[in-house]
Structure 1
Amino acid sequence: MTFRMRLATALCLLAFAAAPAAWAASPSPRAVAITIDDLPRGGDGGPRDLASLQAMTARLLTPFAQQKIPVIGFVNAGRFQGDEAGLRQLLNQWLDAGADLGNHSYSHPDINNTPLAQYTADITRGETPLKSVLAARGKKLAYYRHPFLHVGSTPEDKAGLAQFLAQQGYTEAPVTFDNADYAWAARYVSPETRDNAAAGYVPYMESVVAFFEQRAVEVVGREFPQILLIHANQLNADQMPQLLAMFRSRGYRFVTLEEALRDPVYKTPENYVGRNGFSWLHRWSRFKGMPNKGEPDAPEWVMKGF
């Protein structure tokens, strides 16, 4: 072997040895934006008094603050109706932890059963406390999350709502990691099923994440920054460290909703009009005429009554 050949071989081996280190140092290709709905409290049947909600909120947000993970909460101001000062305290608790806030309507109406004018008025009503606390921090209200992920059961309602949101300066907040955390949360507050719910929740969520990872490749040809929907409840408050660890174990980095939405995948057309609310991956697959594939179901004992 000539000197030149030996040198070339040595350089190739050095490059090969260095490749894993370079790969490990590069940002993870997987990313997720975590969004939490139904602030200041989800409908899990847990305590509703201010002190209990402050304690739950502290548990929920502590892992985000400690690990500097971005998160946005979507607010239903009507869930704490009658105590404006208490609501303000709870919303400021989110902002103090570094979270962002978005509008989820005032009373969580279903556009399937609500006249469009009444529905949009409910959105506007929900803005008042939000804009106030955000303005005090130099922030603006930018995002809207559809209750039930329902965007309109008629072409007229869907187009009318989209036009209203655009006129009001909202960016719609889609969801790709959809799941049944709300059902697990209801079982968690029941003494009879609490332990089983605690043990089964994160493994269930991982099965959902794995499904949508694969579905992303099938529908759009690649993985992309996903958007997780969960709810403000006792279960997520207690299981958040384990849930975040699950994402890390699968190679995820945590990004803001704004960063996730920069990916061009969120410009993918969708034309679903109907009464169901589901992942935007399902909407895109329907638009492309692909066979439907549903995410893993929660066990029957969890979904009973839903």
Structure 2
Amino acid sequence: MSQISDSFQNSPPAADNLQMSGTTSLQRTDNVLCSLIEHARPSAEVSRSESPEISELASDRKGFGLALILLGFIRMGRSLLPVASLGLSGFSLSARKLKLLLSSLPSGPGVVETLRCGPHVCKDACLPVLLDFLRFKAGGAKRVPSSLKTLNLARSRLRRVSVEDLASVFSFGWLPNLLSLDLSDNPLGPSGLKAFARGLSSSPQSLPLQSLKLARTKAKAEGVGALAEALKAKKTTSLQTLDLAENEMRPAGLKHFASAVNAEAVPHLKVLVLKKNELADVTDEEKDYAPIS
């Protein structure tokens, strides 16, 4: 009798058995899904230990349907595959399919912490779909996942009009947990930087933004001046990294930025990139011996 009792006590409870069985089932499902993905990918050189690249499948017409199936499994809790990062830099399908993809994303902690976009997503009919996602999540039924921390819009061919729409996302406080924003290599020009700066300064609350990359945006001194004024609103005091490389800001632009530093607008700034900005290239007419204020 004691042996039977000991055996019973040492056996895991029924609930634990069910939980273990459920986890094993999910792992088996993930293994099958990973195998399907490897067959569907154009290149088969993918480690089985890596997470499947849903972004790559969704960006291609042949893999789009499979991507939706995977997202459906994840939403129903029948797969543990991660969706922490969504890359749309290679997306080339219609705006309707972009909306379908974004509306199919699961919600919850850890979902879409990083979003990378590209030229096709940031123009024409696709841009309003992207902005709707950033505002309320696609379809308007849910807010964008609060876990979104990194937004990469580099090399997306954004111009002033596009940035004005994007600025509204910040002015209404729809990205309250964003830590990193990359707008590098977009021909924004001074007017585009002004539009973006207005969005930052009019945010209803302080932004936790720690990294802002604006390299090669053709900002010039005028655009840097607008950014400096936005920083003085002290809505981005958490900023630690600021990249303004190759913007032709010249000494006038540097003076604008220095005024923001003196106003203690960026008290936590650790990394400032100003290379190739013609900072020493000044004509006699541009020389200004007045103290920086």
TM-score, normalised to structure 2's length?
A: 0.30
Compare CA radii of gyration and give the structure with the larger one.
2
**Higher percent of residues as helix:** 1
Q: With CA pairs under 8 Å and 6+ residues apart, which has the higher RCO, 1 or 2?
A: 1
TM-score, normalised to structure 1's length?
A: 0.29
